[in-house]
Amino acid sequence: MEFDLKTIEALAPDQASLSAASKLTKRSNWPRLEKNEALALMWGECQGSGSNPYRVVVDTGDHGYKCTCPSRKFPCKHSLALMWIAATVPTSFTPADSTPEWVNDWLGRRRKTTPPSTQQASGAGGKSIGEAARTDESTEVEDTAAVERREAAQRKRAEETRSSVSAALDEMDQWISDQLRLGLAGFVDNSGDRCRRIAARLVDMKATALAGRLDEIPSRLMSLRSEERPDAAIRELGKLVLLAKAWRAAPDDPEMKRLVSTSETREQVLASPHAVQVESAWEVLGEKIETRRDGLVSHSTWLLDIRSAAPQFALLLDYFPASAGRRSNAFTPGDRFDARLIFYPSRQPLRALVMDRKGKVSSGEWPAVASSETDPLATHLFCQDAAPWLTDCPVMLPPGAILLDDRGAPWWQAAGDPNGIALPINEAVSPTLLGIDLAATVALWNGSRLDLLAARSSFGRLDLS
């Protein structure tokens, strides 16, 4: 059963969804559009506002659909847009013999439903494709005075935000001084409440990103042993003071705005002349999915440039509400693909967006770790020189192994290292890993612990995230 526009009208939850979908029907939004007629399936990847593309699959037989976006409208605008393309430009879909693994996963989980009746399909309930298309086409022509008024209002809002953030930073500075005066022992013990209160103030005063970071301090402290917490508290609070000073020195700097108030949109990053673009082959090292105290889930996907001579990393970072449930991942650890990435402007570019994802790459080795490097954390020190407010830094460690201390806690140690340098690991590791020599390991160093992502060994690639 193919799609017609009436069916799409009937499936759409409201007129707004149809209007939003109409804007996504441009081919450029869809780096991938494929179909398998035998299985009555079509699927695609739509580049949404996040770092990862949304994956959409539609069953043309019974009009079942699934999208990885966090929208609570069903079907979402991405699913509607895919159906719309199928109805209007079916040649956009490349025939595929096999279905991708994520489509298979959905097929394996779903329960087939009966296709909606034609009566139901014919009742569009006041929604109109024509109107949606017209809304899209009709761009209102503003007069010069209106443009000036709008820009003046934007400038005024920006000025208000800046003064509000400035006041927020003053309040945070005072709060940090209070913590030092009252004692960090008490702060560590009550960090949950204390951080929550100041974070709420910062949100009110538009320093949202900084509030999110403050909110995470208690869990970062609690992941350490009690004797390590005061030092960690000094590091965390000291970095906040430093960040506040850096913002005051350059409040319009995109990196400072991102770290203190709000992040740029995808469009702003794409339009930024300072954003570095790198076209290369990338390997997905691993993912970290963490639920934050502010109710958001942060989904980090770490990539490694496998064509670079020295280790170069990229981070695809998305946030979505925890209430949206678990999202399926756009990448699988170990995947390798050619892509052009654009990095958010930064002193230490790391966070990136996929501009253009191409085909899969099968060959390519990890860059060699400099054997002359005596300090496995040299990359971290370099990162700190450039951006001392950063907390987590990806590092590629030289040959080594995982060992256990007397308490059973794991440590990474360099192979044959006469200095006995060892770095503690954040979480328990698989017992099997204790017997495997690691030729190279990629991990995140947060100043206290390693968070393992992946490693190479005589047993091949090891997923450790």
Chain residues in the site for another protein (CB under 8 A): 39, 99, 101, 103-108, 110, 173-174, 176-177, 180-186, 228, 230-231, 234-239, 241-242, 245, 332, 334, 377, 380-381, 384, 388, 401, 403-406, 411, 413, 420-424, 430-437, 447-448, 458-463
Least separation in angstroms between residue 65's CB and another protein is 15
Would you say 163 or 177 has its CB closer to another protein? 177
Nearest partner of 168 among 213, 212, 198, judged by Cα: 198
Least separation in angstroms between residue 70's CB and another protein is 23
Length of the chain: 465
Would you say 4 or 228 has its CB closer to another protein? 228
Would you say 159 or 459 has its CB closer to another protein? 459
Least separation in angstroms between residue 381's CB and another protein is 5
Least separation in angstroms between residue 96's CB and another protein is 13
Would you say 113 or 154 has its CB closer to another protein? 113
CB 352, CB 341: distance < 8 Å: yes
The span from the CA of 271 to the CA of 442, in Å, is 32
Q: How many CA atoms lie within 13 A of 43 on its CB side?
A: 23
CB contact burial 262-281 (16+ within 10 A = b; e otherwise): ebbebeebeeeeebeebebb
Would you say 130 or 186 has its CB closer to another protein? 186
Least separation in angstroms between residue 421's CB and another protein is 7
CB 429, CB 464: distance < 8 Å: yes
* DSSP bridge pairs for 65: 58
Least separation in angstroms between residue 292's CB and another protein is 22
DSSP 349: -
Least separation in angstroms between residue 390's CB and another protein is 10
CB contact burial 108-136 (16+ within 10 A = b; e otherwise): eeeeeeebeeeeebeebeebbbeebbebb
Nearest partner of 346 among 279, 272, 289, judged by Cα: 272
Would you say 103 or 354 has its CB closer to another protein? 103
Would you say 94 or 332 has its CB closer to another protein? 332
Least separation in angstroms between residue 174's CB and another protein is 7
The span from the CA of 424 to the CA of 402, in Å, is 9
The span from the CA of 153 to the CA of 83, in Å, is 39
Least separation in angstroms between residue 275's CB and another protein is 28
Hey, what amino acid is at 413?
Q
CB 341, CB 314: distance < 8 Å: yes
Tell me which residue has tokens 């963490």. Answer: 290
Would you say 90 or 186 has its CB closer to another protein? 186
For 47-77, the DSSP string reads --SSSSPEEEEEETTT--EEE-S---SSS-H
Would you say 16 or 401 has its CB closer to another protein? 401
Least separation in angstroms between residue 416's CB and another protein is 12
The span from the CA of 307 to the CA of 304, in Å, is 9
Would you say 64 or 75 has its CB closer to another protein? 64
Our measurement of the distance from residue 337's CA atom to the centroid of its chain's CA atoms, rounded to an integer in Å, reads 18
